[in-house]
Amino acid sequence: MSSLDDLYKEIILDHYRSPRNQGELPPPAHRCEGFNALCGDEIIVYVSLIDEKIEDIKIGGQGCSISQASASMMTEIIKGKSVTEAAEIIHAFKEMMDIYESELSGKEAESSASGIDLGDLEALQGVVKYPVRIKCATLAWNTLTQSIDEIQG
Amino acid sequence: MSIDVGKIKKDFPVLQRSINGKPLIYLDSANTSQKPASVMDAMEDYYRKFNANVHRGSYQLANEATAILEGARDKVRSFINANSRKEVVFTKNATEAMNLISNTWGRENLSSGDAIVLTELEHHANIVPWQMLAAEKGFEIRWIKIDDNGHLDLSDFDQLIDGAKLLSFAAMSNVLGTFTPVQDLTERAHELGMVVHADASQYTPHSYTDVQALGIDFLTFTGHKLLGPMGIGVLWGKESLLDSMPPFLGGGEMILNVTKEGFSTNELPWKFEAGTPMVAEAAGLDAAIDYLSNIGMNEIRNHEIELTDYALEKLASEFGETISIFGPKAANERGGVISFTFDGAHPHDISQVLDEENICIRAGHHCAKPLMQVLNVGATSRVSMYLYNDQADIDALVEGLHKVRNLFTL
């Protein structure tokens, strides 16, 4: 398996070609923009939060396969979760994407330290080998974090 | 006479490098150029034989170091046909040179109610310094638009420059490769008494530069894009203008006298060169100019037109409507820079897949976000060529792009 196959796993290309939950949510859903200063990619995360639960989430903007696939998978795992559950998932994902952590512990993709099953998202672990691309993978997640922070004041 | 690329390639040590058994295909020279061995030798030679601080020592070593720095200045003067060595100021890079203009000439001459004119082609280095000053002084920034082929749209040029004090523009676009009509714009701006600055960061490495023939007032470029080292740039300005400007950075070297009450500034060009300068880098730049001059700037330009023409045709014929190439259609209207987008694959993914083949191209906004907005894209892929590139490099690129196509097409 070449290293490219490791990065561009079929599941990632699938989400890139057919992104889930793409579009906008009208107000009062919260809208938050994120930028990758490095490459100019821009993502817009729309979150509808009702009674501490993420009722709906949509993604706008444009970006590379890694950022788009990561955003698409994020919406699938986050939709319907409570804010607390979302925070745990975000934490687990970021831990997986942390190059130093994964190098030190040498842990396998299947077992995240916090015991949360990231499902398809674990396909993104190959990105860690390409430090420049980590920012692509985490763009949507950082924007979602910012969005939740803004909603909760 | 055409240039011998095979021979030239051998002069560049990094181009001999293979990664994972694949030769390096370097197509990112608009970002930074590679360096011939003679440039590295000159820099190493400086530290091995001549290192001393310049303009200060009373011993031979220091005098020789000074001669190296000032010799490089003379070399630059002749390379761009400046009238006097006093007009050649060394800076850290082109960005610093532009910040120097905005912080000295700009700060002295621009205030609320004034206007300056830029173009949509500009690199952030010729935008942000002006925006920073405008935020402080409250003058207006006007923009010359581009047309569908990436040329400046000059239909309302007279209106745009009316009442403006400065025209500042790229002589060659780092994204589209467009050559702008420097002389024509300068003549028209001068009729209104404007000051004209050309950002020649992309122009001077690829095209014979004669500041007197161009007619501009300021010219800026950087050493590392013209085979020289990183860490040295050039501001050229007309002597009378430089004379009238306040100093930029303060410190040693830029003063004539300092008392508790104040200071007086040194003569040109040192008035704008505070602190210990980059002598090894100057030696490297000197050697880079020698290298380019031995081959000939016109020969280099002709080679790039030929190669760009080949690349444009090849990309269009191989990828047809699935590739969008931005900028002027004809190779002789542009430098060796080709920006494009590819259906179904993001620029970042394209450069990633090409990297696997050891092909280096740039993906992103190329420090020209306003231009990206005009082009209505977030990012482009950019291939940029220089004297050490040949058709085989373009063929490798095309092959790599087929690989991209296969990976990302449904």
Q: Which of A4, A40, A65 sits opposite B369 (nearest CB)?
A: A40
Show the tokens assigned to B258: 């300092």
Q: Which of A16, A41, A68 sits opposite B379 (nearest CB)?
A: A41
Question: Which of these is catalytic: B52, B132, B241, B367?
Answer: B367
Say how far apart CA A122 and CA A77 lie, in whole Å: 12
Q: Do B328 and B149 meet the contact criterion of CB atoms below 8 Å apart?
A: yes
Q: Do B283 and B46 meet the contact criterion of CB atoms below 8 Å apart?
A: yes
Asked about B367 being catalytic, the answer comes back as: yes
Task: Please report which residue ranges of B138-254 form alpha helices under DSSP H.
Answer: 157-161, 182-191, 211-214, 239-244
pLDDT at A131 over 90: no
Pick among A3, A5, A33, A41 to test the B interface (most B CBs inside 10 A): A41
Q: Which amino acid is at B296?
A: G
pLDDT at A152 over 90: no
What is the predicted ipTM? 0.82
SS3 B325: strand
Name A24's Cβ contacts closer than 8 Å, sequence gap at least 6. Answer: A31, A44, A46, A58, A60
- Say what the pLDDT of residue B57 is: 75
A41: chain B residues, CB-CB within 8 Å: 348, 378-379
- Say what the pLDDT of residue A110 is: 44
Beta bridge partners of B115: B140
Q: Do B116 and B99 meet the contact criterion of CB atoms below 8 Å apart?
A: no
Nearest to B34 by CA among B6, B13, B60, B55: B13
Q: Can you list the positions of beta strands (E) in B299-336? A: 323-325
Say how far apart CA B125 and CA B38 lie, in whole Å: 29
- DSSP state letter for B306: H
Say how far apart CA B35 and CA B255 lie, in whole Å: 34
- Say what the pLDDT of residue B391 is: 98
B346: chain A residues, CB-CB within 8 Å: 62-65, 68
- Say what the pLDDT of residue A103 is: 53
Domains of chain B: 5-27+296-408 (3.90.1150.10), 40-293 (3.40.640.10)
pLDDT at A109 over 70: no
Show the tokens assigned to B53: 């601080």
Shortest Cα distance from B175 to chain A (angstroms)? 14
The structure tokens 């209106």 sit at B159
Say how far apart CA B132 and CA B173 lie, in whole Å: 22
- Say what the pLDDT of residue A39 is: 73
Q: Which of A2, A39, A66 sits opposite B365 (nearest CB)?
A: A39
pLDDT at A111 over 50: no
Task: Note whether B364 contacts A39, CB cutoff 8 Å.
Answer: yes
Chain segment A75-102, per-residue pLDDT in tens = 999 999 999 999 999 999 999 988 655 5
Burial class (CB in 10 A: 0-12, 13-18, 19+), B106: buried
> Where on the phi/psi map is residue B152: left (φ > 0), alpha (ψ -120 to 50), or beta?
beta
Quickly list DSSP for A75-130.
Answer: HHHHTT-BHHHHHHHHHHHHHHH-HHHHHHH---TT--TT----GGGGGGGGGGGS
Say how far apart CA B328 and CA B308 lie, in whole Å: 11
Chain segment B34-72, per-residue pLDDT in tens = 999 999 999 999 999 999 999 877 899 999 999 999 999
**Residues of chain A with a CB closer than 8 angstroms to some CB in chain B:** 2-4, 7-8, 13, 16-17, 38-42, 62-66, 68, 130, 133, 136
Q: Which of B345, B353, B378 sits opposite A62 (nearest CB)?
A: B378
- Say what the pLDDT of residue A55 is: 96
Residue A108 confidence class, pLDDT cut points 50, 70, 90: very low
What torsion do the CA atoms of B214, B216, B222, B228 make, to the nearest 10 degrees? Answer: 30
Pick among B175, B341, B352, B406 to test the A interface (most A CBs inside 10 A): B352
Q: Which amino acid is at A111?
A: S
- Say what the pLDDT of residue A2 is: 61
Say how far apart CA B226 and CA B222 lie, in whole Å: 7
Task: Note whether B407 contacts A13, CB cutoff 8 Å.
Answer: yes
Specify the higher pLDDT residue, B68 or A116. B68
Name B88's Cβ contacts closer than 8 Å, sequence gap at least 6. Answer: B73, B76, B77, B80, B82, B234, B235, B236, B269
Say how far apart CA B115 and CA B138 lie, in whole Å: 9
Sign of CA dihedral B365, B202, B129, B262: positive
**Residues of chain B with a CB closer than 8 angstroms to some CB in chain A:** 345-349, 352-353, 356, 363-365, 369, 372, 378-379, 407-408, 410
Query: To the nearest whole number, what is the mean pLDDT of chain A?
Result: 87
Ranges of chain B whose pLDDT falls below 50 = none
Q: Which amino acid is at B261?
A: E
In B, minimum Cα distance to A14 occurs at B410
Fold of A3-150: Sufe protein. Chain: A (3.90.1010)
Quickly list DSSP for B44-109.
Answer: HHIIIII---TTT--SHHHHHHHHHHHHHHHHHHHHTT-S-GGGEEEESSHHHHHHHHIIIIIHHH
- Say what the pLDDT of residue A115 is: 74
The residue extents of the domains of chain A are 3-150
3-class SS string, A5-27: HHHCCHHHHHHHHCCCCECCCCC
The structure tokens 């004090």 sit at B165
Task: Note whether A40 contacts B378, CB cutoff 8 Å.
Answer: yes
pLDDT at A1 over 70: no
Task: Note whether A136 contacts B348, CB cutoff 8 Å.
Answer: yes
- Say what the pLDDT of residue A36 is: 85
